[in-house]
């Protein structure tokens, strides 16, 4: 199938499913789209017992899409820039240290906890897998997904300072998680020994280089926006910043997600807005990126739901996936404990931040994209099924109940 036809089909499905959700289900878009797509896919499977024409057509569409490339090299930069652009910068500045620690130490801790726990779990289930590959799974499942988190938290009634911690962590831990994954991937796939120096060099280039590039792109965009007053061109400048910045990051082997988050925060903070954008320009820039965010979000979650058609589900792997759900949640809770206990003495943390951040840390498309990038030698099918089960549970169960958890704990009434 050609690119235009696939895009037209995906946008058409996204529009129909989005309409059904807004008109009838009235769920947060992330949850509603995932649920409707899954039901649609199950319906296609049911119809296939009588006529497999629709099933084969849907399989052809999904098989034609390189999900990993589409998300990691295309959509993710736009989504992260849009998320950072609308993040409360003043709140994030206050919460910067816990956010940084959650996104770095938290991701690393969770990677090793999940990897170690899964290694023994799979051994018990008779699905023995080398420890290094379990670490790879730990790295791909540890980052929380800002794309899934943002819309849900706004409807959940979370206090602003708590929302900032969860969203800020999610924006940054994507980039860090991808770097950790790539580092372990390099070790797992290398025939030659990888030294600590190689790891530090890769990690430093990806993380520090990505943030540095993002600062440069953000500053250049700021100067360009400041020098003119034409909302049409200013919107185009922000679009060019994301597209050209992503290409530059990929060519320089730096983290494009971290670069785009940093650039979005530089361009979107209140001080920069006052000096660079008129009220009209600010409205157009915000509306444009809100539209990009909603469109790509919609397509992304339709894609996640449809991916179910090309995954081979078997009983042992389904059992492993179901058991992995509480394992991943417990490991996330433990990885947050030390940072939360340290920072709550110095900053205004709402009660039971540990529980809410654990339950509100949703997994999404990034984890699936990373799982799809595994090779067959790395037990791709096994980890893809486990990842898919965790992502579905995360979005449908955690996403639907996080608001109730916040209300039950009384934190939605906590002071900001």
Q: Are residues 193 and 280 in the same domain?
A: yes
Q: DSSP string spanning 6-57? A: HHHHHHHHHHHHHHHIIIII---HHHHHHHHHHHHHHHHHHHTTT--HHHHH
Domain boundary (44, 63, 82) is at: 63
Backbone angles phi, psi at 348, to 5 degrees: -80, 95
Domain's final residue, options 45, 63, 81? 63
Q: Are residues 288 and 160 in the same domain?
A: yes
* Cα–Cα distance measured from residue 163 to residue 87, given in angstroms and rounded to the nearest whole number: 10
With a CB cutoff of 8 Å and minimum separation 6, the contacts of 186 are 194, 198, 202
Q: Are residues 245 and 127 in the same domain?
A: yes
Query: What is 341-402 written as a DSSP string?
Result: HHHTTTS-PPTTHHHHHHHH----HHHHHHHHTS-GGGTHHHHHHHHHHHHHHIIIIIHHHH
Between CA 17 and CA 405 the distance in angstroms is: 27
**Pair (39, 80) in one structural domain:** no
Whether residues 93 and 197 share a domain: the answer is yes
Q: Identify whether 131 is part of a domain.
A: yes
94 and 181 share one domain: yes
> Is 270 inside a domain boundary?
yes
Q: Are residues 79 and 156 in the same domain?
A: yes
* Number of domains the chain is built from: 2
Q: Examine the domain organization and report whether 237 and 289 are in the same domain.
A: yes
Does residue 357 form part of some domain? yes
Is residue 416 situated within a structural domain?
no
- Statement to judge: residues 49 and 158 lie in one domain: no
> Are 106 and 234 in the same domain?
yes
pLDDT at 338: 87
54 and 135 belong to one structural domain: no
- Residue 108 DSSP label: H
* CATH number of residue 126's parent domain: 1.20.1530.20
Domain interval for residue 41: 3-63
Please give the chain's pLDDT, 416 residues, in tens.
688 998 899 999 999 999 999 999 988 888 888 899 999 989 998 998 898 888 888 888 888 888 888 888 889 999 899 989 988 777 788 888 899 999 999 999 999 999 999 999 999 999 889 999 999 999 999 998 876 676 676 666 677 778 788 888 888 888 888 889 988 998 888 777 777 887 888 888 898 999 999 999 999 999 999 999 999 999 999 999 999 999 999 999 999 999 999 999 999 988 888 889 999 999 999 999 989 988 888 898 888 888 888 888 889 999 999 999 999 999 999 999 988 988 887 777 888 889 989 998 889 888 998 998 898 999 999 999 999 999 999 999 998 898 888 888 877 654 44
Q: Is residue 368 part of a domain?
A: yes
281 is a domain residue: yes
Q: What is the predicted pLDDT for the residue at 416?
A: 46
Backbone angles phi, psi at 346, to 5 degrees: -110, -20
- Point out the domain boundary residue: 63, 82, 114: 63
Do 166 and 271 lie in a common domain?
yes
């Amino acid at each position: 199938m050609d690119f235009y036809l696939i895009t037209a089909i995906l946008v058409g499905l996204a529009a129909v499913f989005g309409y059904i959700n807004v008109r009838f289900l009235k769920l947060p878009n992330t949850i509603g789209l995932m649920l409707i797509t899954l039901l649609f896919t199950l319906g296609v499977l049911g119809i296939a017992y009588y006529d497999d024409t629709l099933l084969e057509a849907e399989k052809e569409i999904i098989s034609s899409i390189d999900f990993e490339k589409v998300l990691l090299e295309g959509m993710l930069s736009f989504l992260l820039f849009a998320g950072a652009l609308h993040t409360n910068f003043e709140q994030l500045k206050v919460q910067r240290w816990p956010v940084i620690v959650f996104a770095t130490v938290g991701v690393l801790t969770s990677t090793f906890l999940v990897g170690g726990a899964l290694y023994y779990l799979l051994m018990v289930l008779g699905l023995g897998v080398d420890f290094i590959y379990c670490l790879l799974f730990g790295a791909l499942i540890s980052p929380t997904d800002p794309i899934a988190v943002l819309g849900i938290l706004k409807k959940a009634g979370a206090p602003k300072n708590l929302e900032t911690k969860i969203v800020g962590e999610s924006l940054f831990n994507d980039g860090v998680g991808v770097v950790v994954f790539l580092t372990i991937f390099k070790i797992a796939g290398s025939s030659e020994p990888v030294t600590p120096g190689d790891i530090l060099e890769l990690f430093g280039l990806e993380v520090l280089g990505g943030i540095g590039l993002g600062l440069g792109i953000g500053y250049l965009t700021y100067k360009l926006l400041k020098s003119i007053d034409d909302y049409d061109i200013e919107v185009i400048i922000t679009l060019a910043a994301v597209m050209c910045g992503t290409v530059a990051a990929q060519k320089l082997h730096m983290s494009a997600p971290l670069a785009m988050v940093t650039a979005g925060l530089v361009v979107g903070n209140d001080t920069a807005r006052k000096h660079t954008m008129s009220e009209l320009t600010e409205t157009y820039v915000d509306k444009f990126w809100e539209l990009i965010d909603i469109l790509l979000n919609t397509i992304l979650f339709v894609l996640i739901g449809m991916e179910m058609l090309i995954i081979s589900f078997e009983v042992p792997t389904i059992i492993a996936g179901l058991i992995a759900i509480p394992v991943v949640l417990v490991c996330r809770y433990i990885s947050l404990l030390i940072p939360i206990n340290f920072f709550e003495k110095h900053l205004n943390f709402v009660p039971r931040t540990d529980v809410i951040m654990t339950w509100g840390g949703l997994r999404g498309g990034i984890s699936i994209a990373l799982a799809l990038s595994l090779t067959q030698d790395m037990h791709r099918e096994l980890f893809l099924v486990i990842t898919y089960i965790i992502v579905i549970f995360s979005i449908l169960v955690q996403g639907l109940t996080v608001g109730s958890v916040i209300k039950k704990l009384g934190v939605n009434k906590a002071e900001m």
